[in-house]
Amino acid sequence: MSEKLSRQQIYDRIRATSKDSYVLEEMQRLGFWESSDTPSLSEVLIKREVAANQELNNLLAQDRKYQNQEAMLKEMRKARMKLAKEKREQTKQKNKQKKDDKAEAWKDTQQQQIVYLGEGVSGGLNEIESAIESLQRFNLPVFENLSDFASALGTDLSALRYLLYQRKVSRINHYHAFQIPKKSGGKRTITAPKQKLKRLQLWVLENVLNRIQINHHVHGFIKERSIVSNARPHLQKDIVINVDLKDFFPSISYKRVKGFFHKLGYSEQLSTIFALICTYAETEKVEMDGVNYYVQKGNRFLPQGSPASPAISNLIAYKLDKKIQGLAAKFNFTYTRYADDLTFSTSKENEKNIASLLFFLKKIIEVEGFAIHPAKTHIMRKGNLQKVTGIVVNQKLNVQRVQLRKFRALLHQIEKEGWKDQKWGNAKYLINAIEGYINFVKMVNESKAMVFKAQLTSILAKHGHPPVEQAVVEEESKIIAEEKATEVKIETPLKTDTEAKQYDWWNVL
């Protein structure tokens, strides 16, 4: 006896086929419907219906499966899009954070470093290592970083950038440019730094340049040396030769100044900053739409008017002086130099060596990056007037008598008629020119200078100070106002209790 089906099993069989098919199978199983090889029509239809239903169910199952795949793919795409969106947002936030971090790092760098100061001068600003041992040998100041350097100057990095940034065209000019007459005729352009920059140059002069020994053949702009000490070695010589260097300060370029500080031991970074402090690029003033622009005309060089330029020129010309001194000794000449004036003297018996001296002198000067002024080489023999830096050296150190007579006549005229229409050379400030000449005389002949000083005192008591031309007053007032507008106090805190040691610095390095 076959096992009785449960209600659930019956439902499952009906769902798998059909109700009619299930009834047919049960009737056949129970014997109510006899089976034969030739089924009746109803039986055939029932079986076909079952087959059709199974096929339909299979198709519906496949359709459901397909629909499920589409839904699954849709969900997968949706999930991927959500993930991609989240990733993009994360990337956006990450990039924003990187940008913020970079900006903050740049801000910190700006406060601690100077990484760019314009085209053509910024290449070495990332080289911050100094040769400390070399600096210590010269007793020069050593700095831990650029902020310490700025603090030593009594300023900050922002002010340094403002003063030193190299621009081809700018609305800012840190120099006063004006011209003064030359004794030999023509004009000499003076570029004097404004107050902020001048204070930096004075710091460099006092704390770096003045600590380095100068060759003893050099007498210009050195403490306890003067035009008198420069002239004295040539006193009572049979032959005196004066040679002038052409464009002495402009011949000393920014690169040479930077190389000098680097040779002392300072890093590329500090050497760049020192060189920018101490050099100048000639500019042309152009007005456009009521605004003044300063257009750079050439490369940077030592300006005439900077307090640091004379000391730098003397130190850069150290090798020049060494070579010339060797040449002079070889041909039995005495040699001294005062700024761009080179002086040689010798005995009459040595006259045969003058041509050789001048020939090799020209070669040495050119090799060292300078040039001889062709119109300012003078050979002065005994019996004629011999002058060295304005001082007569024939028999004793003296002031030229023709000039003294003119000066006495000027003082006499002023004392008699007053200051009106009186002139001394091309001087704008007559009283300053007179006092300057008296001081010049004092260096050579103090007794004559005292007579002139007493006479000037009498003139001032009688006529007061001379009036100044209105144009001069206006020019000076403009300069003073501009200086006050940009004035900043820069201290010089680096001091030492002991004298700085002196070195033959080119040989040491």
Tell me the pLDDT band of 479, cut-offs 50, 70 and 90: low
- Please give the torsion angle defined by the CA atoms of residues 151, 152, 153 and 159, in that order, rounded to the nearest 10 degrees: -20
Output DSSP code: residue 163. H
- Give the residue, 15 or 433, on which the prediction is more confident: 433
Is the pLDDT assigned to residue 500 strictly greater than 50? Answer: no
pTM: 0.73
Mean pLDDT value across residues 462-474: 67
**Domain, as residue range, for 136:** 113-211+253-301
Looking at the structure, tell me whether residues 281 and 413 fall in a common domain. no
Domain end marker among 348, 371, 398? 398
- 280-288 β-sheet, strand order: 169-170, 291-301, 280-288
pLDDT digits (tens, 9 = 90+) for 55-96: 877 787 777 767 776 777 777 788 788 888 989 999 999 999
Tell me the pLDDT band of 41, cut-offs 50, 70 and 90: low
Of 25-34, 357-366, 444-453, highest mean pLDDT: 357-366
- Structural domain includes residue 481: no
- Structural domain includes residue 340: yes
- Structural domain includes residue 22: yes
Mean pLDDT value across residues 358-371: 96
Query: What is the per-residue pLDDT for 503?
Result: 36
Extended strands (E) in 432-473: none
Is the pLDDT assigned to residue 496 strictly greater than 90? Answer: no
pLDDT digits (tens, 9 = 90+) for 180-219: 776 666 677 788 999 999 999 999 999 999 999 888 899 9
Mean pLDDT value across residues 239-268: 96
Q: Are the C-beta atoms of 260 and 316 separated by less than 8 Å?
A: yes
Looking at the structure, tell me whether residues 157 and 197 fall in a common domain. yes
- Structural domain includes residue 97: no
Query: What is the per-residue pLDDT for 34?
Result: 58
- Structural domain includes residue 479: no
pLDDT digits (tens, 9 = 90+) for 98-156: 898 888 776 766 666 788 899 999 988 989 999 999 999 999 999 988 889 999 999 98
Domain end marker among 398, 422, 442? 398
Looking at the structure, tell me whether residues 394 and 458 fall in a common domain. no
Query: What is the per-residue pLDDT for 502?
Result: 37
Say how far apart CA 278 and CA 257 lie, in whole Å. 8
- Which residues are 245's β-sheet partners? 372
Residue 114 phi/psi, 5-degree rounding, is: -120, 115
Residues 6+ apart with CB under 8 A from 482: 176, 194
Domains in the chain: how many in total? 4
Say how far apart CA 262 and CA 264 lie, in whole Å. 5
Looking at the structure, tell me whether residues 247 and 368 fall in a common domain. yes
High-pLDDT (> 70) share of the chain, %: 83
Looking at the structure, tell me whether residues 220 and 194 fall in a common domain. no
* β-strands 398-399, 169-170 pairing: unpaired
- Structural domain includes residue 79: no
pLDDT digits (tens, 9 = 90+) for 92-108: 999 998 898 888 776 76
Say how far apart CA 13 and CA 64 lie, in whole Å. 22
Looking at the structure, tell me whether residues 318 and 200 fall in a common domain. no
Which residue in the block uniquely carries the two structure tokens 């600003």?
Answer: 125
Q: Are the C-beta atoms of 315 and 191 separated by less than 8 Å?
A: no
| Domain CATH number, residue 376 | 3.30.70.270
Query: What is the per-residue pLDDT for 183?
Result: 62
Looking at the structure, tell me whether residues 324 and 364 fall in a common domain. yes
- Structural domain includes residue 483: no
- Which residues are 280's β-sheet partners? 301
User: Long-range contacts of range 257-263, CB-CB < 8 Å, 24 or more positions apart?
Assistant: 257/302, 257/312, 257/316, 260/312, 260/315, 260/316, 261/208, 263/509
Looking at the structure, tell me whether residues 394 and 414 fall in a common domain. no
Extended strands (E) in 302-372: 334-338, 341-346
Looking at the structure, tell me whether residues 122 and 263 fall in a common domain. yes
Mean pLDDT value across residues 228-256: 96
Average pLDDT, the chain: 84
Is the pLDDT assigned to residue 501 strictly greater than 90? Answer: no
- Give the residue, 422 or 37, on which the prediction is more confident: 422
Looking at the structure, tell me whether residues 62 and 154 fall in a common domain. no
Query: What is the per-residue pLDDT for 486?
Result: 40
Is the pLDDT assigned to residue 498 strictly greater than 70? Answer: no
Q: Are the C-beta atoms of 277 and 203 separated by less than 8 Å?
A: no
- Structural domain includes residue 82: no
Counting runs of H as helices and runs of E as strands, what totals does the chain give? 18, 12
Looking at the structure, tell me whether residues 189 and 237 fall in a common domain. no
Domain end marker among 357, 383, 398? 398
Looking at the structure, tell me whether residues 151 and 273 fall in a common domain. yes
